[in-house]
Structure 1
């Protein structure tokens, strides 16, 4: 990696990739994030939308079991959301870079509301079947594949550069809060009636749609006189962009490996707690404390992001996880395990904030949707493979050995992260816009 890339553009190099007309129109200094009307509207709408989605994800398997009694078909419906999101991820990222991003987000909320209305009516008329549930699940997955990169790509246009870390962290807190509230609501609403959680989902998407209508998102500059390329070539362009930038490659590796091994670790711990006779109520507390730790960590992330250098923050989080994860072998109380979960979950949001801020500010606007698509697919694969890896470890090894295997994998990633010259030269997020990707070199 050249010194110019680490500190700023080389003499005579092209200007930073993202200083487009649309970005220049956006103020570089703005009031506090809480006073940013447009971000506040987006955030509020999406925390409700996330709660509706999580409520549906709890209600889906309960509904399938009530209709068919088949656990396998329950898994099919729930899995259809993740599969659709993965399959649509890369094309969705390319389409987000083609289409107006606010319209993409509005369309996704509207389509999900219509799909949920159809399911509510089918349940009211007594005609709902597994096939309809799969269709609704696929619609949800495709809409999330489109919405998430559209929102992420819009963030640097909605807030000032200095607000991006706080916005990224608040979005993470929003997701955790929505998941926690939706998970708690799902079972309760289903007990009131089979269609009630899906009716709540309709209201959640309508609320998010209305909130989005009033968001003022600065327009993007028109493409410089060339027709859109073939969709496949645009997808490859996005993949090449991520692969050719060393810092993007390394940060994607950090996030994916952490998601993979921690997903496996989480399942191993749940199984180990069950084997040790921890009551199901305490296991529920463990899961809740994991979510609470994530919310608190997201709230603290902007402060840690400001106080620590990117390399120290990212490497420090990995070292802390390496030291904390083996402790589960010695913990037999569900409540104490919940405390350990909360501490572990508190740490990653700070590193994720630093990584995501750099990725957004460094990537040119016309590639941000494809960046989001790549990150969504790689993160989704890690989240899907992690539990499978955890299940295999539980079957192959005694519980404590499975825990230590996951901890050893995290330790290996920690060593690679610590020794990475690319990460040691990682710039502050505020410098990301000043870097010229043409000066980036493979280490």
Structure 2
């Protein structure tokens, strides 16, 4: 990663975003606490937190098209500024004791839309900021950044809330302003004009992005792998938490389990570039799924929260390597004029998996005894493992970037 350490622009982007991620995670912890303090309603707390995810999903596909149509740096700067302004409005309302659920929902929607816009713009910019051989390291470091920001922000949110309802949002303002300034100094290369025609209708541009992903077998299969991994892992996580609670594990041990899950993800993201250089993408993806197939059923036999935390850490250590292989292939083999829309498609499919995963886990623990629910998740992962092992398209995934034959995006 020495090349990235010497890459001034990537360092600025990465540093700003790890702080921004911490600010966002702080806000996500503070939102339900504020709503409970104002209304005492758990339902309304869920409404505010859910508004972020709903807005992000609704804006995902258009956001990808905008990332291909507009200046990506300006999109990212606008998102950081908008989030800082929204948090400032909320701070003033809380300070004046006039904040209501409606305002909290509006701020949550702004944050969800900004995340939907920012992510494809940033992902599409990576191949312009770093050398092709450094893309795997950049992809994995971005994953580590997200995990580190979530860990620190989650811990900080509750602590800051104890000093006042508005204090976590003050930190969020500072975080987004810091990220804005960092982004301002990033020298993102000017993109070459990809077509002489004016921008198409937004719906047509979105359809082009969806069509691109669907027509490329390797993009289609690797996207399925990522969605499956996110869906079943998020379901498995909820099943284990319910199982641990049912076995009478203290809440402190359950908290340690969650922290070790996050720590395993950070370490896995840091190790992912090394694994990517030593193992072919196909073996890396299939190997991760096989390891998860073996490890996930072990939770049935673990009754200690600390041992379960170690199991969680081991499980979380693995997916970043597969995600790095998949993300690198997808970025390097998608034309620049379509990378934003690729990011929009991946953001929406990943968001749907993250939303449906806990719902699936909740249904499993209601319908099945704890151990059977664990085995159901493990069985589903095993089915995907067999698919990845014998899928000819995935087996043909090249070890190095191999350009795809792009179909024209305009008629």
* 1:9-408 paired onto structure 2 within 5 Å: 32-408=3-379
Residues in 1 aligned to 2:33 and 2:401: alpha-carbon distance in whole angstroms:
49
User: CA–CA distance in 2 between the matches of 1:223 and 1:67?
Assistant: 51
Number of equivalenced pairs: 407
Query: Which has the higher mean CA deviation after the structures are superposed, 394-403 or 218-227?
Result: 218-227
Q: CA RMSD in A?
A: 0.9
Shift of 1:225: 1.2
Structure with greater contact order relative to length (CA < 8 Å, sep ≥ 6)? 1
Compute the displacement of 1:32 (Å).
Answer: 1.1
CA distance in structure 2 between the partners assigned to 1:436 and 1:245 by the alignment: 9
Query: What is the CA–CA distance in structure 1 between the aligned matches of 2:303 and 2:238, rounded to whole Å?
Result: 16
Is contact 2:334-2:404 (8 Å) kept? no
Structure 1 counterpart SS, 2:162: helix
Report the equivalent of 1:436.
405
Aligned equivalents of 2:195, 2:227: Cα separation in 1: 34
Deviations 1:300-337 (A, max 9, x none): 00000000011100000000000000000000000000
CA distance in 1 between counterparts of 2:148 and 2:29 reads 15
Structure 1 ranges of 4+ moved more than 4 A? none
Determine the C-alpha separation between the residues in 2 that align with 1:163 and 1:419: 30
Q: In the alignment, is the contact (CA less than 8 A) between 2:64 and 2:117 conserved in 1?
A: yes
| Mapped partners of 1:225, 1:213: distance in 2 | 29
How far the C-alpha of 1:436 sits from its partner, in A, is 2.8
Aligned-partner Cα distance in 1 for 2:112–2:311: 32
Aligned counterparts of 1:251 and 1:431: Cα–Cα separation in 2: 15
Structure 1 residue 437 displacement after superposition? 4.1
In structure 1, list runs of 5 or more residues that go unmatched.
1-29, 439-443
CA–CA distance in structure 2, aligned partners of residues 219 and 337 of structure 1: 48
**How far apart in 1 are the matches of 2:404 and 2:177?**
40
Q: Distance in 1 between matches of 2:125 and 2:109?
A: 25
- Structure 2: give runs of 5+ residues left out of the alignment: none
For 1:142 and 1:412, locate their aligned partners in 2 and report how far apart those are by CA, in whole Å.
Answer: 35
Take 1:280 and 1:223, find their aligned partners in 2: how far apart are those partners? 55
* CA distance in 2: counterparts of 1:307 and 1:31, whole angstroms: 17
Structure 2 length normalisation: TM-score?
0.98
Instruction: Give, in whole Å, the separation in 1 of the partners of 2:266 and 2:282.
Output: 23
TM-score, L = length of structure 1: 0.91
How far residue 223 of structure 1 moved from its aligned partner, in angstroms, is 3.6
CA distance in 1, matches of 2:343, 2:86: 25
Separation of aligned partners in 2, 1:209 and 1:247 = 36
* Distance in structure 2 (CA, Å) of the matches to 1:437 and 1:261: 32
1:226 alignment partner, SS class = coil
2:195, 2:337 → 1: CA distance? 11
In the TM superposition, residue 222 of structure 1 has moved relative to its aligned partner by 2.0
Secondary structure (helix, strand or coil) at the match of 1:224 reads: coil
Q: 2:122, 2:152 → 1: CA distance? A: 22
